[in-house]
Structure 1
Amino acid sequence: MSRIGKQPVVLDSSVKLEVGSGQTSVQGPKGKLTVPVPAGIAVKVGDGVATVERKDDSKSQRALHGLTRALLANAVHGVTKGFAKNLEIHGVGYRAVIKDNVVNFSLGYTHAVEFPIPEGIEVKVEKNTRLEISGFDKQQVGQVAAEMRALRPPDVYKLKGVRYAGELLRKKAGKTGA
């Protein structure tokens, strides 16, 4: 039995779970998500918990068992509490400003970089150098944060650029003079 897959997913009273063929819909106060359910995996709902079961013990079924349970748990957490990622901008003159659902980055390029905010994602900027990306879809929040970080990844020599809050970076030594 999968250690993750056998754990039940606790459902909040505000969460509605609808099991369909090949997918499960999770609806809560923050939004609605659909979780794909592979063939051979079944989702059962009862008494405020959802359990994920598999039909046999083949290697692929065991892998999909834990995956489906984790995706379902992330969807339930997302529609109730939501997810957030924090980014920090380091560098002289590097900053971010939000205008009309677009984040304008000044990252040392000759031009400003515009990043449109996708639907379902909320971005807050504090002190022009800290961004909080939040939403109810964990995958989408992580993807948007990764795309923003990729606009100017941290430099290994001066550590300038966009990084995750709390990210540990290794600084490389520069060339030694003669």
Structure 2
Amino acid sequence: MSRIGNKPILVPETVKVTIERSGRAGKRVICEGPRGRLEQEILPDFSVEFEEESRLLRLQRRLNTKRHKALHGLYRSLLANMVRGVAEGFEQRLEMIGTGDFPGVGYSAKLSGAEGDEAKTLVLEVGYSRPIEIEIPQGIEIELPDATHIIVRGADKQMVGQFAAQIRAVRAPEVYKGRGIRYRGEVVRLKPGKAFVSGE
């Protein structure tokens, strides 16, 4: 992990990096870009510098313990994701496989709430007796290319992944016919159905 931590991060021109002092002599790294603003606290056992001319963000550790080596790589990954997130954003795509002979039959997704409202809701019809409503958190954008495909976007990679997982958990793919909500490209291993043997 320390080899990852030693790699500098190239920051695009569209991203502004600010480094502030934090509690107990730690540092707070703030990244601002077209997709939003993110912050990351850094322990005082690490130094972080941003070189304006080269546009390189560097992170160094002051101790060589196993824990600090692991944290070095972790912090570097978090900072790299922040830079990419505010510059380009992250996305996760899901698809709904319903009943019938065609994908999506009986399942659908729609957005509730006026465009631009913060408290928009994702409404899922997935075979239950009533629709499932999920409040969309701040910092997350939802796009519905059609009624059975969902795109989750945001600057925070972890938040995008967590919200996509929350949507999938509403109706995870079942193992006999594959019905449910799955990630795009996800392979669901189906089990053979029980054979019916009639008595003579």
Whether the TM-score (by the shorter chain) exceeds 0.5 is yes
Contact 1:90 1:162 in 2 (8 A): yes
- Aligned Cα RMSD in Å? 1.2
1:124 paired with 2:137, answer no
Tell me which residue corresponds to 1:15: 15
1:43 paired with 2:56, answer no
- Partner deviation per Cα, 1:68-125 (whole Å, 9 max, x = no partner): 0000000000000000000000013011011211111101000110111111111011
1:138 to 157, 160, 163: 157
Secondary structure at the aligned position of 1:35 is classed as: strand
Map residues 1-178 of structure 1 onto 2, 5 A cutoff: 2-20=2-20, 21=22, 22=26, 23-46=28-51, 47-92=54-99, 93-100=106-113, 101-178=120-197
Amino acid at match of 2:130: H
Secondary structure at the aligned position of 2:93 is classed as: strand
Amino acid at match of 2:131: A
Amino acid at match of 1:36: E
Amino acid at match of 2:176: Y
What displacement does 1:38 show?
A: 2.2
Identity of aligned residues (%): 40
Secondary structure at the aligned position of 1:13 is classed as: coil
Partner Cα distance (2:80, 2:111) in 1: 32
- Which is further off, 114-123 or 77-86? 114-123
Q: Unaligned regions of 5+ residues in structure 1, if any?
A: none
Amino acid at match of 2:50: V
Secondary structure at the aligned position of 2:152 is classed as: strand
Partner Cα distance (1:13, 1:38) in 2: 27
Amino acid at match of 2:46: I
Secondary structure at the aligned position of 1:118 is classed as: coil
Secondary structure at the aligned position of 1:72 is classed as: helix
Amino acid at match of 2:110: V
Amino acid at match of 1:37: I
Secondary structure at the aligned position of 1:119 is classed as: coil
What displacement does 1:173 show?
A: 1.1
Partner Cα distance (1:111, 1:30) in 2: 35
TM-score by length of 2: 0.86
Contact 1:38 1:64 in 2 (8 A): no
Contact 1:26 1:75 in 2 (8 A): yes
Secondary structure at the aligned position of 2:195 is classed as: coil
Aligned residues: 178
Q: Unaligned regions of 5+ residues in structure 2, if any?
A: 100-105, 114-119
Contact 1:31 1:79 in 2 (8 A): yes
